[in-house]
């Protein structure tokens, strides 16, 4: 049996009321609702990591044989992001890593590849994570619509909660939304053409093909989890297929926005959170064609309910102050830098040398006295035992904020930096920056957890490391 073993999602803490965009530009096209906005130290890679981290909660990460990352907004044009995610998760060295890009359908393409890999026996557990942070030109519908988020699914041959039943794909060269290698912002063609010649033609074709292969009818599908760039489009396509509105899973367009590549997986996670044994869930990706995959839920689904998923992330949010904060976080406005020397060039050899204890936030635990320590120490700081230790993971442990200071003069894109000292549950102390916090609400003794974040960009290199943040849920 091959199918979905576990699921995970990530939606940034911050939301921007679309009324703030209307106010900023006096837009004549008000759009209700809000959209999720990644913090200044988040990107597609860190969000993809967060969804994958949520997906493997309670699962031995050494069991993962492959990691597939899908995004149209990866931080690099020529370098894998999946290897960075795998390194930060502390996965095995002999796993297969692959990036899927170039289309909003990349998420479901990666999902189909994961299913095929497990069916073929080349892997037993494949972690698929999809994420997007897309930029749109100011004062347009795309700026209103686009949101930031990530979704992840673990495809496996064991402990399967939703068995893969079948799939159908339609591939076609088609321009609706695209971004060339010379573009910073996403381009869009005429809305009616997209709807009538693209979405409402290709989606029904792929869905009906999948239903036919599985011997099912439209009424046999409990949840239709499909990408859309406009709720009107998915409603029109569903009507053509024969789906009742109650079968169509909420795409979170009003609360999160169009998260691009992440939408099919993220909406599938939302469907699985409410699914019961016997339900057929269809996952559908659109872009240069359409993928439609059907999964049949079984009793195992009740054992994977302890994840952050979609519901908890939707409930946990903080509204942004204004549109200017959004523009600053996306790097679309030049801010006068602090009067400090420029950052030094990143040492690539140091990054490579320190990747296990730095990237994966691994320290040691003394086997003589049991004291966890970070970074790695040959000599125990407590009992002075030499070379008596085992590897110890700090990334998945909660901590207390012991002390902090707000530095308004340090080099940062969004001052102040909150420099923090945290004491981990079970032992161990770390100095790091704090994120997703309001300076006025930061207090000593508050509960914090670790979060993998973007640090800075110097010499063409994106630097990532761990920060603490207030416990979200």
Q: What is the pLDDT of residue 1?
A: 92
56-65, 117-126, 339-348, 356-365: segment of lowest average pLDDT: 339-348
**Residues 175-197: pLDDT tens digits?**
999 999 999 999 988 888 888 89
Q: What is the pLDDT of residue 353?
A: 81
**Residues 206-216: pLDDT tens digits?**
999 999 999 99
CATH of 3-329, one of 3.40.47.10, 3.40.30.10, 3.40.50.720, 3.40.50.1820: 3.40.47.10
**Residues 368-407: pLDDT tens digits?**
999 999 999 899 999 999 999 999 999 999 999 999 999 9
Number of C-beta neighbours around residue 91 at 10 A: 23
Domain map of the chain by residue range?
3-329, 348-470
- Global pTM reads 0.96
Q: Is the pLDDT of residue 29 over 80?
A: no
- Long-range pairs for 316-320: beta carbons < 8 A, 24 or more residues apart: 316/13, 316/472, 316/473, 317/13, 317/14, 317/15, 318/13, 318/14, 318/15, 318/438, 319/14, 319/15, 319/16, 319/17, 319/34, 320/14, 320/15, 320/16, 320/17, 320/20, 320/37
Q: What is the pLDDT of residue 342?
A: 73
Q: What is the pLDDT of residue 298?
A: 97
Q: Is the pLDDT of residue 413 over 80?
A: no
Q: Is the pLDDT of residue 352 over 90?
A: no
The rounded mean pLDDT for the chain is 94
Q: Is the pLDDT of residue 6 over 90?
A: yes
Range 11-21 average pLDDT: 97
30 φψ region: left (φ > 0), alpha (ψ -120 to 50), beta (else): beta
Q: Is the pLDDT of residue 138 over 80?
A: yes
**Calpha distance 287→199 (Å, rounded):** 9
């Amino acid at each position: 049996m091959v199918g979905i073993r576990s699921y995970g999602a990530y939606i940034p803490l911050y939301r921007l009321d679309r009324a703030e965009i209307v106010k900023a530009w006096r837009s004549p096209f008000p759009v209700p609702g809000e959209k999720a906005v990644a913090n200044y130290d988040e990107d597609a890679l860190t969000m993809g990591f967060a969804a994958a981290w949520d997906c493997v909660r309670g699962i031995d990460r050494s069991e993962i044989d492959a990691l597939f990352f899908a995004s149209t907004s990866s931080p690099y044009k020529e370098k894998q992001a999946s290897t960075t995610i795998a390194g930060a998760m502390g996965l095995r060295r002999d796993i297969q890593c692959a990036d899927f890009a170039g289309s909003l359908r990349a998420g479901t393409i990666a999902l189909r590849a994961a299913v095929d890999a497990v069916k073929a026996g080349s892997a037993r557990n494949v972690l698929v994570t999809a994420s997007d942070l897309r930029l749109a030109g100011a004062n347009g519908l795309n700026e209103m619509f686009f949101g930031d988020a990530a979704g992840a699914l673990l495809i496996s041959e064991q402990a399967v909660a939703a068995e893969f039943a079948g799939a159908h794909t339609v591939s076609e060269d088609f321009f609706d939304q695209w971004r060339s290698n010379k573009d910073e912002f996403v381009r869009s063609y005429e809305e009616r053409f997209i709807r009538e010649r693209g979405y409402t033609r290709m989606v029904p074709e792929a869905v009906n093909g999948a239903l036919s292969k599985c011997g099912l009818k439209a009424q046999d599908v409990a949840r239709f989890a499909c990408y859309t760039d406009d709720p009107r489009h998915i409603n029109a396509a569903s009507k053509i297929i024969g789906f009742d509105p109650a079968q169509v899973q909420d795409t979170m367009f009003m609360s999160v926005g169009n998260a691009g590549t992440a939408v099919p997986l993220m909406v599938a996670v939302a469907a699985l959170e409410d699914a019961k044994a016997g339900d057929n869930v269809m996952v559908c990706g659109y872009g240069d064609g359409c993928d439609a995959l059907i999964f049949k839920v079984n009793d195992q689904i009740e054992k994977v309910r302890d994840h952050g998923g979609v519901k908890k992330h939707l409930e946990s949010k903080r509204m942004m102050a204004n549109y200017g904060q959004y523009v600053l976080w996306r790097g679309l406005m030049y801010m006068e830098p602090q009067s400090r020397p420029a950052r030094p060039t990143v040492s690539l050899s140091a990054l490579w040398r320190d990747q296990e204890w730095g990237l994966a936030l691994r320290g040691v635990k003394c086997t003589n006295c049991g004291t966890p320590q970070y970074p790695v120490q040959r000599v125990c700081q407590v009992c002075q035992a030499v070379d008596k230790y085992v590897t110890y993971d700090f990334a998945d442990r909660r901590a207390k904020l012991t002390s902090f200071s707000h530095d308004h003069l340090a080099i940062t894109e969004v001052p102040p930096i909150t420099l923090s000292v945290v004491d981990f549950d079970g032992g161990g102390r770390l100095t790091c920056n704090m994120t997703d916090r309001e300076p006025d609400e930061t207090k000593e003794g508050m509960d914090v957890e670790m979060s993998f974040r973007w640090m800075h960009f110097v010499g063409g290199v994106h630097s990532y490391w761990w920060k603490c943040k207030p416990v979200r849920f």
